[in-house]
Amino acid sequence: MKKHLIFAVCAALLTALLLSSCLGGISGPESGASSAAERTSAETDVQSSAYPDDQTTAETAPDTEPETETEPEQTTEAVTEEPVTTEEETTGPSPDAFVIAPPEGAETVGYTERGYAIQTKDGFWYVGGILVVNKTYPLPADYVPDGYPVPMQDKVENRMLPEAQEKLVEMQKAFLEENPTAKGFKIQSGYRSYMTQNRLYTNYVSKYGQEYADTYSARPGHSEHQLGLAADLNVVGTSTLYESIKNTTEGKWLAANSWKYGFILRYPEGKTPVTGYIFEPWHFRYVGLEAAAAVYESGLSLEEFLGIDSVYRD
Q: Which domains does the chain have, with CATH numbers?
A: 88-131 (no CATH), 141-306 (3.30.1380.10)
Burial class (CB in 10 A: 0-12, 13-18, 19+), 238: middle
pLDDT at 22: 43
Q: Which of 38, 280, 303, 304 is catalytic?
A: 280
3-state secondary structure the chain: CHHHHHHHHHHHHHHHHHHHHHHHHHHHHHHHHHHHHHHHHHHHHHHHHHCCHHHHHHHHHHHHHHHHHHHHHHHCHHHHCCCCCCHHHHHCCCHHHCCCCCCCCCEEEEECCCCCEEEEECCEEEECCEECCCCCCCCCCCCCCCCCCCHHHCCCCCCCCHHHHHHHHHHHHHHHHHCCCCCCEEEEECCCCHHHHHHHHHHHHHHHCHHHHCCCCCCCCCCHHHHCCEEEEEECCCCCCCHHHHHCHHHHHHHHHHHHHCEEEEECCCCHHHHCCCCEEEEEEECCHHHHHHHHHHCCCHHHHHCCCCCCCC
pLDDT at 170: 96
pLDDT at 148: 67
pLDDT at 96: 85
What is the side-by-side strand order in the sheet with 107-111? 107-111, 117-121, 124-127, 130-131
Long-range contacts of 233-237 (CB under 8 A, 24+ apart): 233/185, 233/186, 233/187, 233/188, 233/282, 233/283, 233/284, 234/185, 234/186, 234/188, 234/282, 235/183, 235/184, 235/185, 235/186, 236/183, 236/184, 236/185, 236/186, 237/183
pTM of the model: 0.70
Backbone angles phi, psi at 283, to 5 degrees: -95, 115
Q: Is 280 a catalytic residue?
A: yes
pLDDT at 140: 92
pLDDT at 281: 98
CA 265 to chain centre: 30
Closest by Cα among 275, 283, 228 to 251: 283
pLDDT at 80: 35
Which pLDDT tens digits describe the chain residue by residue (314 residues)?
Answer: 444 444 554 555 555 554 444 444 444 334 344 444 444 443 434 333 333 333 333 333 333 333 333 333 333 333 333 333 333 343 567 888 899 999 999 999 999 999 999 999 999 999 999 999 999 999 998 898 886 654 434 444 468 898 999 999 999 999 999 999 999 999 999 999 899 999 999 999 999 999 999 999 999 999 999 999 999 999 999 989 999 999 999 999 999 999 999 999 999 999 999 999 999 999 999 999 999 999 999 999 999 999 999 999 98
